[in-house]
Amino acid sequence: MRKAVRKAVLGGMPCVAECGGFLYLHQSMEGSDGESYPMANVLEARAYRTDRMGRFGYVTLTAEKDNLLCRAGETLPGHEFHYWESTDPGAGFIARKPQSDRKWDCVHTSARLYAGFPHFHFASRPEAARRFTAACVRYREELQ
């Protein structure tokens, strides 16, 4: 399955991978037992366990550049909570905490990829859902 996912994503299949899906796209992931396990090897990054929950709560994601779901400057509301971290969390979006100055880079993006810790809901930005669907249709047409 890891090889099939790697082949599909690197072959251009549109992919939205949030949190656990994002971790699955890593080269490897440290388990709660401290052992390292191979993942799909799509992203050049390793996932590792932390001692506490990280970046818990709501965020506003602002796209740094055009990508699968957003144009540069557009936003997605989301939330984060995780006990794992990544050696490369991405830089396609900036996450900002509401009513705070706290912010950080996150999410690997391209014309066919959204891969990062933040969760979002397509109903919060229907245009993102339309863009994802359109990318899927284009991909299917390319295969024919």
Q: Give me the catalytic one of 19, 70, 106, 136.
A: 19
Verify whether residue 19 is a known catalytic residue: yes
Helical H runs in 63-144? Answer: 126-143
Pairing assessment for the beta strands 103-106 and 28-30 based on DSSP bridges: unpaired
- Please state the φ and ψ torsions of residue 68, each to the nearest 5 degrees: -50, -40
What distance in Å separates the CA atoms of residue 104 and residue 97, rounded to the nearest whole number? 9
In sequence order, the 6+-apart residues with CB closer than 8 A to the CB of 11 are none
User: CB of 2 within 8 A of CB of 29?
Assistant: no
Tokens representing residue 101 in the block: 């100055």
> Which residues carry out catalysis?
19
